Amino acid sequence: VGKSVDPRLIRSREAILTAAKELLRKHGPPAVTHQRVAAQAGVGRATVYRHWPQPEQLRLEAMAGLGLPFFRDPIVPVRPWLHGQLRYYADEMAMPEVVSVALILFQRAKDPAVAEAGRQFRSATTDRVRTALDLAITHGELTLTIPREDAAARLVGPILYQAWIQIDVVTDDLIGRLIDGIGTWS
């Protein structure tokens, strides 16, 4: 940044972002509104609007700071953990506030910061699912019956389809069938 920036603006930006991450972590994306973030940060609503005219942008930056919340830290036995994570993913993807942020991440963004956040979120999803399945394979819990590189797409893809295209409930039974569809679980 070549030109000097008012230090009060930088401070308010950081305070707002900290408040947004706090609300996001505790109450999820719908809580990240201009009004609640302003109250939490102790600034006026106009100040929040000045930095982030759209709530999606603020949610996106807060989410990028927290990192992708799904498929983190797998534990053995992997199957119930994976079921819980897919359940959580399905529930989040059914929330309009999450969809609006996710859709920004799917586009080839012009803003380099948004493009990089999108790239990280996307690759993290696949990498983490693979790490979890590797753990299950190592522990003798899973024998894959499909190529390893298909697994993330065949677990997560149908959930996205169900939530976004079919606009239908993702049942626990469907999640169970998707998990069974990738291999033999002991």
The binding site for its own copies (CB under 8 A) comprises: 96, 99-100, 103, 106-108, 122, 125-126, 146-147, 150, 152-154, 156-162, 164-167, 174, 177-178, 181
Amino acid at 87: R
CB of 177 to its own copies, least distance (A): 6
**135 touches 176 (CB < 8 A):** no
CB of 96 to its own copies, least distance (A): 6
Ramachandran area for residue 163 (φ above 0: left; ψ -120 to 50: alpha; else beta): alpha
Q: Which is nearer to its own copies, 23 or 156 (CB)?
A: 156
Amino acid at 125: T
CB of 137 to its own copies, least distance (A): 19
Report which of 166, 85, 165 is spatially closest to residue 133, judged by C-alpha positions.
85
Residue 143's H or E segment, with its range, is strand 142-144
Q: Which is nearer to its own copies, 22 or 70 (CB)?
A: 70
Give the relative orientation of helices 34-41 and 7-27 as an angle to the nearest 10 degrees.
110
Q: Which is nearer to its own copies, 10 or 146 (CB)?
A: 146
| Gyration radius from the chain CA atoms | 19
CB of 26 to its own copies, least distance (A): 25
Q: Which is nearer to its own copies, 150 or 172 (CB)?
A: 150
| CA 23/CA 33 separation, integer angstroms | 9
CB of 178 to its own copies, least distance (A): 8
Q: What is the DSSP letter of 164?
A: I
Q: How many CB atoms lie within 10 A of CB 18?
A: 15
CB of 35 to its own copies, least distance (A): 20
